[in-house]
């Protein structure tokens, strides 16, 4: 590498760190540009996590002398990519890094980077649309825009025009969030390369986002493990566990639904695990699913029996409980109840994530690689995880198929058709068809005021959404659930089963009242009530 390339490589590296800092500053505002008034906008956090993975890899490099150091960074951003916005950003960064670290003149390299980044990003999206991050980068990639500064100005204009291209943005009064995040990244890079960036009215679209009511987003990177109040759990279960971090997180998710006083400590693959529970068998089984269990101790907290030897004698087995299957299933789930239900349906590995916390490509990749089968079916269960899931297919030496489930209700329906002893193609066809039979809806709380075809709603109102947008809104939860369900039953010809998935924090009496109202309103249908404990969405509603 000659001295000129080395200087530019150092400038690019400095620009990546500046871009991460820029996303950190504006992350919350980018999240608030979410087009729907729901509390799970996470574009900013997804883009930040993606870029941060690259910067971590950058910090671990000894130097930038290697001519292909940028490939290490590009791979790290790909594996760290979260959500559709993160996957698209990783594709753009790969092109940008390759072009900017070449010996091509800077402005030529810039336009080459944006042109290739635009192509790669568009190819990564199943149905490309105008008025998105794709429009923004395409505007900057046009050769006629001239200088780098003019290219950045063109992207700003394209971003401000996104509400004219997408009606949903215009109704929400926002610009595209992914496009806003991209400009933060590219302007930070440009400044590090010595380009003077016009800071007049710096990021007005992000300043405006500050006027939008903040969503109250739980930190889904860790599961809340301590229950409130005095524990009513009878048994203390402890054991040692050899496992990976991904499997540990999945076990924690299962445990949080069956106990409290949970403590999992350790490092480098060896952990000591502790739980108070009334379900001894499932607690230990969750550990066996996660790895190799040993040193099991079970104590009766009421009678203080030091150890129930029959438990340790019968269950301290090598971690071979999951046998090789012809086809294995990996699924994404948010909520301890959802994770437990998925496990009961035969899911071999549950990846913690979903609304508000999209798993990275690496987390999905690790789960697929750990599955005890060379054929794996992957259920994203969220539209914003589809792109990351698709990226896994080319990264793993297994036969992987994506069941295009958009939410956990489609996931449940697909799993009802799963047969672990059937081949991948047969399961793929059956499960995909089963998922398509579900009419689904979600009930959440509005984080900003808005309108829909039947009226308006205020901040804090309950809103019911389906694949067609907002279908119901009211300050009363029961009213919204019933109105949303009415639209779904109307859509689903030959409807037979209604599934109500109850979310985290919903009062048990209220949940019972609503389920009875549904049964009374639809006596011809079978009503199933499941406790998913999913965050942000007090009810998920499915009609089959």
Taking only the tens place, the pLDDT of each residue in 201-259 is: 557 777 656 544 443 333 323 323 232 233 466 777 878 888 888 888 888 878 877 87
| pLDDT at position 217 | 33
Cα atoms in the 13 Å half-sphere on the side-chain side of 473 = 21
The least confident of 122-126, 191-195, 241-245, 410-414 is: 122-126
The rounded distance, in Å, linking the Cα atoms of 70 and 101 is 8
Q: Residue 515 has which token pair? A: 């389920």
The rounded distance, in Å, linking the Cα atoms of 150 and 198 is 10
- Summarised one tens digit per residue, pLDDT across range 59-91 is 888 777 777 888 899 999 989 898 888 889 999
Q: Residue 32 has which token pair? A: 């608030």
Cα atoms in the 13 Å half-sphere on the side-chain side of 241 = 29
Q: Strands 526-531 and 497-502: what pairing?
A: parallel
Q: Residue 82 has which token pair? A: 């979260």
The rounded distance, in Å, linking the Cα atoms of 173 and 170 is 5
pTM of the model: 0.72
Smallest CA-to-CA distance from 291 within 323, 248, 327, 255 is with 248
List strand residue ranges (DSSP E) for 220-288, in order.
235-243, 259-267, 270-277
Average pLDDT over residues 511-529: 89
Based on its alpha-carbon atoms, the radius of gyration of the chain, rounded to whole angstroms, reads 25
The rounded distance, in Å, linking the Cα atoms of 273 and 241 is 7
Is the pLDDT assigned to residue 406 strictly greater than 70? yes
Which of 406 and 6 is assigned the larger pLDDT?
Answer: 406
Among the residues of 214-360, which ranges form H helices?
245-255, 280-290, 309-315, 336-344
Q: Residue 112 has which token pair? A: 């080459």
Residue found by looking up tokens 């790895």 in the block: 291
């Amino acid at each position: 590498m000659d001295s000129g390339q080395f200087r530019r490589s150092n400038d690019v590296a400095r620009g990546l760190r500046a871009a991460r800092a820029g996303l950190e500053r504006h992350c919350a505002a980018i999240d608030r540009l979410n087009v729907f008034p729901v509390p799970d906008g996470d574009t900013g956090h997804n883009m930040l996590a993606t870029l941060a993975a690259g910067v971590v890899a950058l910090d671990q490099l000894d130097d930038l002398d290697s001519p292909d150091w940028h490939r290490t960074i590009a791979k790290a951003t790909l594996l760290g990519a979260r959500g559709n916005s993160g996957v698209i950003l990783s594709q753009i960064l790969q092109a940008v890094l390759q072009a900017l670290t070449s010996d091509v003149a800077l402005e030529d390299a810039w336009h080459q980077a944006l042109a290739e980044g635009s192509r790669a990003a568009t190819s990564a999206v199943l149905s490309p649309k105008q008025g998105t991050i794709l429009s923004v980068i395409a505007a900057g990639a046009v050769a006629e825009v001239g200088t780098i500064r003019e290219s950045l100005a063109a992207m700003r204009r394209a971003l401000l025009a996104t509400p004219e291209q997408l009606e949903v943005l215009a109704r929400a009064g926002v610009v595209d969030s992914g496009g806003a995040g991209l400009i933060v990244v590219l302007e930070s890079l440009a400044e590090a390369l010595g380009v003077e960036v016009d800071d007049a009215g710096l990021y007005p679209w992000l300043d405006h986002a500050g006027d939008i009511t903040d969503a109250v987003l739980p930190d889904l990177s860790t599961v809340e493990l301590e229950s409130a109040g005095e524990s009513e759990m009878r048994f203390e279960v402890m054991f040692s566990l050899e496992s990976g971090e991904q499997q540990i997180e999945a076990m924690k998710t299962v445990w949080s639904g069956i106990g409290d006083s949970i403590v999992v400590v350790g490092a480098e693959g060896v952990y000591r695990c502790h739980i108070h529970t009334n379900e001894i068998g499932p607690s230990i089984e969750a550990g066996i699913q996660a790895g190799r269990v040993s040193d099991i101790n079970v104590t009766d907290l009421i009678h203080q029996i030091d150890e129930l030897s029959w438990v340790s004698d019968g269950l301290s087995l090598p971690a071979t409980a999951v046998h090789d299957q012809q086809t294995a299933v990996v699924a994404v789930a948010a909520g301890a109840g959802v994770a437990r239900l998925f496990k009961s349906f035969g899911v071999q590995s549950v990846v913690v994530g979903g609304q508000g916390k999209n798993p990275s490509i690496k987390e999905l990749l690790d789960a697929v690689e750990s599955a005890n089968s060379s054929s794996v079916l992957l259920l994203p269960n969220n539209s914003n995880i589809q792109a990351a899931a698709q990226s896994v297919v080319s990264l793993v030496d297994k036969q992987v198929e994506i069941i295009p489930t958009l939410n956990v209700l489609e996931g449940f329906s697909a799993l009802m058709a799963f047969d672990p002893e059937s081949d991948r193609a047969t399961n793929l066809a059956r499960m995909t068809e089963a998922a398509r039979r579900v009419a689904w809806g979600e009930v959440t709380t509005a984080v900003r005021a808005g309108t829909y075809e039947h009226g308006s709603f205020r901040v804090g109102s309950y809103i019911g959404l389906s694949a067609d947008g907002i279908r119901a809104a009211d300050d009363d939860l029961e009213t919204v659930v019933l109105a949303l369900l009415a639209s779904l039953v109307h859509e689903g010809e030959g409807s037979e089963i209604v599934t109500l998935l109850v979310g985290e924090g919903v009062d048990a009496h209220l949940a019972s009242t609503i389920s009875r109202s549904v049964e009374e309103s639809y006596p011809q249908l079978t009503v199933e009530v499941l406790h998913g404990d999913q965050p942000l969405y007090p009810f998920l509603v499915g009609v089959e």
